[in-house]
Amino acid sequence: MKLAYRMYAGPAHIGTLRVASSFKNVHAIMHAPLGDDYFNVMRSTSERERDFTPVTASVVDRHVLARGSQEKVINNISRKDEEQHPDLIVLTPTCTSSISQEDLQNFVDRASLSSESDVILADVNYHRVNELQAADRTLEQIIRFYLDRARKQGTLDRSVANAPSANIIGIFTPGFHNQHDCRELKRLLGELGVAVNQVIPEGGYLKYLRDLPRAWFNIVPYREVGLMTATLSEREYGMPYISITPMGISNTADFIVQVGKLVNVWAYALLEKRLNYKLYVDNQTKFVSQAAWFSKSIDCQNLAGKEAAIFGDATHAASITKILVKEMGIRVSCSGTYRKHDAERFNEQVQGLCGEVVVTEDHTEVGDTTARIEPSAIFGTQMERHIGKRIDIPCGVISSPVHIQNSPPGYRPFLGYEGTNQVADLIYNSFHLGMEDHSSDVFGGHDTRSISTKSLSTGRSDINWTPEAESEPNRIPGFVRGKIKRNTEVSARRNNILEITIDATYAAKEKSSS
């Protein structure tokens, strides 16, 4: 058992549902108790989704527990088949089904006999994988299923397209700024003369998957989801892939160099010419993206040597670290990710760029580290934003998990050249607010910024509270209690008091109100 207050990545089935509901006309049926279908709520609110989320539950209740699902799952599958005629129904196991150990594959086999839709069982083990790994697997599973079938039926189109083209793999819902990134990627590829063959899974129809191998190469913009599919197509269909995330000026340039290499492999054979993107990159870097000029401008001078802490998924945390250090001259004291199973690669990416690397799924560890190093700004997830609020440090949100405010209607890509502009804004605004705050402190503001007020850890204090003093903070409304308690401890420490009596609490209160 593990005491956990918050979690970064969700349970496995969320990943499966995210992939399934991103495809067009795919329905997911969860084998889960009532209330576990909150994915629908997340999708319909945080993404402001207009359409009913194609996810239903085959509800596990007491009867199912006692007698097994029996016909229930199969009936639910055939009912959905008749009602909505999906192309594919994905039966999704949850922790409940993994514990109750029902033979879901059997249900799938039986249901697929009678239903017109294809039916598959998502191959994810609840205990072994998290949301992102599960999404990666499910995507690969679906692609493999349809490519294998097309191959068997002889409908697989393996002829390479005449003009340069690419698949974008791993854009899905609800992903952090995925929609905007996708649009920016398409634009970027368009300017490079590369057509987009398919985007999967977002908005993709299964019937077109057989044309997937026609693209010259695959693009996997995010490390989290899509790599398994990309390696599958490399192994079985000889399709190369690019896994560089075009986030930030230098990463985008690297990405374009890769595109150039892969395009030229076929371009020379098919079109008898070589494409050169060097001029394009130069022009974009200098004039379309404002980021390079922005870092050179005197405004950005003020940021030099400022410290930042970064935490998020592997893709965003690594890229933002690189941008801050290499492109804006900001010191990154700490960079971290919650993607533990990708730790090696993350270390490699941020090596030499930051003071320390934190790889953890424990959000209190992130909080304590941030509090200890006291950066001028944090770039992290919504959780880091709240850590920042508590210890009074501004935070820019760069990665999921996120709130609805991180699904902006306005165009906010993180990738490509427009992405560099957006990221520059985000970074600059975070620091700028920090400086304003600082100057208000200097001019007669409150001076409460000492290290001990910033500790987020609980129960690690060397100060004792007498029982009656202990009851004192309990009379204070819950939401400010922690702060007042901390202030009391700070005041006690300043006066070398090691035991807090009721007098000490009042003394501290007087001091803070005066």
Work out the widest C-alpha separation in the chain, in whole angstroms.
Answer: 87
Positions 442 through 461 that interact with another protein (CB under 8 A): 458-459
CA distances from 502 to 415, 473, 512 (A): 56, 10, 16
Question: Which positions make up the binding site?
Answer: 36, 434-435
Distance CA 383, CA 6 (A): 8
Minimum distance, C-beta of residue 222 to another protein, in the bound complex (Å) = 20
Binding mask 29-58 for another protein (x = CB under 8 A): ---xxxxxxx-xxx-xx--xxxxxx--xx-
Positions 362 through 401 that interact with another protein (CB under 8 A): 382-383, 386, 390
- Asked if 208 touches another protein (CB under 8 A), the answer is no
- Which residue's CB is nearer to another protein, number 403 or number 438? 403
Question: Which positions make up the binding site for [4Fe-4S] cluster?
Answer: 36
The residue type at 138 = T
Distance CA 184, CA 417 (A): 8
Question: Which positions make up the binding site for substrate?
Answer: 434-435
- Asked if 252 touches another protein (CB under 8 A), the answer is no
Is 123 a known active-site residue? no
CB count in 10 Å sphere of residue 382: 17
C-alpha angle with apex 401: 399 to 406, nearest 5 degrees? 65
- Asked if 462 touches another protein (CB under 8 A), the answer is no
Distance CA 265, CA 170 (A): 24
CB count in 10 Å sphere of residue 229: 28
Q: Which helix (H) or strand (E) holds 379?
A: strand 377-380
Binding mask 469-498 for another protein (x = CB under 8 A): -x---x---xx--x----------------
Q: Which of 6, 151, 345, 449 binds another protein (CB under 8 A)?
A: 6
The residue type at 8 = Y
Minimum distance, C-beta of residue 59 to another protein, in the bound complex (Å) = 6
Q: Which of 62, 67, 152, 446 binds another protein (CB under 8 A)?
A: 62
Find the Cα–Cα–Cα–Cα dihedral 264, 268, 272, 278, rounded to 10°: 30
Q: Which single residue is written with the structure tokens 């040597």?
A: 305
The catalytic residue among 299, 362, 392, 503 is 299
Minimum distance, C-beta of residue 41 to another protein, in the bound complex (Å) = 5
- Which residue's CB is nearer to another protein, number 31 or number 180? 31
Q: 3-state DSSP call for residue 399?
A: coil
CB count in 10 Å sphere of residue 237: 16
Peptide bond into 240 cis (omega under 30): no
Positions 121 through 160 that interact with another protein (CB under 8 A): 126-127, 130
HSE value, Cβ hemisphere, 13 Å, CA-based, for 377: 26
Task: Name the segment binding another protein (CB under 8 A); options: 60-68, 231-239, 299-307, 343-351.
Answer: 60-68
Residues that bind another protein (CB under 8 A): 1-7, 10-11, 13-14, 32-38, 40-42, 44-45, 48-53, 56-57, 59-62, 65, 76, 83, 94-96, 99-100, 126-127, 130, 382-383, 386, 390, 403, 458-459, 470, 474, 478-479, 482
Please list the active-site residues: 299
